[in-house]
Amino acid sequence: MSALHGESTVGSALVKRGLADMLRGGVIMDVVNPEQAKIAEDAGAVAVMALERVPSDIRRDGGVARMSDPQMIKDIQATVTIPVMAKARIGHFAEAQILQALDVDYIDESEVLTPADEENHIDKWGFTVPFVCGATNLGEALRRIGEGACLIRSKGEAGTGNVVEAVRHLRTINAQMRRLASADAAELFALAKDLQAPLPLVLEVAETGHLPVPLFCAGGISTPADASLVLQLGAEAVFVGSGIFKSEDPVRMANAIVEATTHFADAAVVAKVSTGLGSAMRGAETATLETRLAERGW
Amino acid sequence: MRVGVLALQGDVREHVSMLASLGVAAPLVQQPGQLDGLDGLIMPGGESTAIAHLLETSGLREPLAERLAQGLAVLGTCAGLILLSTTVTDGRSDQWSYAALDVAVRRNGYGRQRASFETELDVVGVGRVPGVFIRAPRVESTGQNVQVLAEHDHGDGPCPVLVRQGAVWGASFHPELTGDSRIHRLFVDSI
């Protein structure tokens, strides 16, 4: 046996997407300081999203929401052994460059922050660190993948504690993929036009029946039952933002959502972990919202 | 033959597909009773801290330890290798592992995600296979009963990346993420 002195390639589509594959079946938790990051890791989170304010606080405080202070991201990286993600504003490639220089494990080009470009998203192909982007429908998901996103999360409506938009977006993406899978070859061109999505990606989804990258769910998940719901609807993992650290007992809630995500199809387990949890975050009816974050991104 | 796939978290589906392509039944293991009647087990890639946590909450930790002590054939990739190792460095202060494979591994020993890489490996008895390393554990030492089946030189000397001690196999990389099923074939043929 000899060790090959072959070439090593970093930043390939396979290794970028591969990290998303490793996170499947897990829970990614928003954390605003090292203490919360530790709680998340203790509870079995597969990754943390480091940010200065959880979405519900961003909603409450208003103002421009930007990338977090690098010091805060470094402190969290020093605290946990699991992957650390961080958010850049839509189109703000300089923030993304900074996050890559900080060695974060995934960059979320996120509608939760105030967009920096109202026409263009970041050209994500030029980065070694992989990107996750939100989507409300299949066309949006495929446009992001066309720009180099290696993981898609349905957007939901962040900071509301209300799962209704997450369900809408997941169901929409899945229904549109089923439509492609059942279309005949001639219809796919018009469907690509309707979706405003790159034709090669439309053809790929029509062939395989699923996205070429993993599909996770975000935005409004705040109970173990919510996690079970979206996983049964086809999400492969969940992002939980305000839902954990805005609940009455974050440690128990974090543990319960992790267990419910693994055993999402076993209602007895979900029932057990849902019992005596204390109150979930208060939440908001989406009809009363002043700002719909999911509408950001194009 | 039945080779279970530990399905608490991680890239379970890819291992199931690999086994299916080899004509091997691959039941998912999420509860202790599901270990019964298995000829082998694959512990997939994922986050080792999350999988370790879920092994405890699901009640699988001790029953799996017993099966390992009885000589169950097992292949761990990435996080699975970490969970099988004797010594884990750069982990959580309370990180535990099964000590079924006499190797010392360093978590994220090749660096964070930006350093994740693809390369080609030369595997004993197989030949060249693609090696996909994602926040991979680095094997820093091996006991005398451990057979090294592949090494990779990351510019600082060769390190074992595929190891075997009797029925227990560990890979730093992810053969399941490629279209090449020869590592899985090697494991299955050994059972």
pLDDT at residue A209 greater than cutoff 90:
yes
The pLDDT of residue A298 is 80
Q: Mind telling me how many Å the CA of A244 is from chain B's nearest CA?
A: 17
CA distances from A294 to A31, A45, A65, A219, B174 (A): 21, 25, 15, 9, 35
- Lowest average pLDDT, out of A5-14, A70-79, A265-274, goes to A5-14
Give chain B's domains with CATH numbers: 3-190 (3.40.50.880)
Residues 41-100 of A with CB under 8 A from B: 41-47, 81-83, 100
A74: annotated active-site residue: no
Return the CA Rg of chain A.
19
Q: Mind telling me how many Å the CA of B70 is from chain A's nearest CA?
A: 27
pLDDT at residue A30 greater than cutoff 60:
yes
Grade residue A223 by pLDDT with cuts at 50, 70 and 90: very high
ipTM over 0.85: yes
Question: Would you list the DSSP string of A70-92?
Answer: HHHHHHHHHH-SS-EEEEEETT-
Which residues of chain B fall short of a pLDDT of 50? Answer: none
| Cβ atoms B131, B120 nearer than 8 A | yes
What is the share, in percent, of chain A residues with pLDDT greater than 70? 98
Which residues in chain B have Cβ-Cβ distances shorter than 8 Å to A4?
A: 119-122, 128, 152-153
The pLDDT of residue A114 is 95
Annotated catalytic residue within A38, A74, A87, A155: A87
The pLDDT of residue A28 is 98
* CA A32 centroid distance within chain: 17
Q: Check B118 against A103: CB less than 8 A apart.
A: no
Question: Would you list the DSSP string of B90-116?
Answer: SS-TT------EEEEEETTTT-SGGG-
Q: Check B13 against A24: CB less than 8 A apart.
A: yes
B136: which DSSP letter?
A: -
The pLDDT of residue A4 is 54
Q: What is the mean pLDDT of residues A58-84?
A: 94
- How far apart are the C-alpha atoms of A158 and A293, rounded to whole Å? 7
Q: Mind telling me how many Å the CA of A18 is from chain B's nearest CA?
A: 7
Q: What is the mean pLDDT of residues A94-102?
A: 98
pLDDT at residue A62 greater than cutoff 90:
no
Known catalytic residues of B?
78, 174, 176
